[in-house]
Amino acid sequence: MADLYPWIKSLHVISVMAWMAGLFYLPRLYVYHVEQDAVQGPTEEMFHTMERRLLKAIMNPSMIATWVFGLWLALTPGIVDWGAVWPYTKAVAIIGMTWFHMWLAKERKALLAGTSTVTGRGFRIMNEVPTILMIVIVVSVIARPF
């Protein structure tokens, strides 16, 4: 496993970057979607298409790849100090990131059905969640203050 470590870590970082891009962009699409003037028509369909493709073609595969490569790294002997606190703060933040991803998927279905109750302001506020979680993850792994 040690020989594959640089490759797995590279694939993990690439997956994380793709996932984070989607986690930052999809809520922004939702803001524009709910704040548009014309509720029906070609603009509505365009938003549904963009949101579906972003979630299904980029975010879902990159989230799965992030988890697979991340677990592979975590299970590589000698990489993680399981006696420290940082792996657990990172794990909690990753679970939070995954919850946020699932919440976005649920909201996409609600927008499609016309039943979403989240406002543009609400989506703007929720758009800060991945940033906060990313900070926790990066500080946990790089600075390891815990």
Q: Which domain holds residue 76?
A: 5-143
User: Which residues does 40 contact at the CB level (< 8 Å), separation at least 6?
Assistant: none
What is the reported pLDDT for 37?
A: 60
Burial class (CB in 10 A: 0-12, 13-18, 19+), 143: exposed
Predicted confidence band of residue 36 (pLDDT cuts 50, 70, 90)? confident
| Predicted confidence (pLDDT) at residue 38 exceeds the cutoff of 70 | no
Domain count, the chain: 1
Transcribe 43-92 into DSSP letters. Answer: HHHHHHHHHHHIIIIIIHHHHHHHHHHHHHHHTSTTT--TTSSHHHHHHH
Q: Which of 7-11, 50-54, 74-78 has the lowest mean pLDDT?
A: 74-78
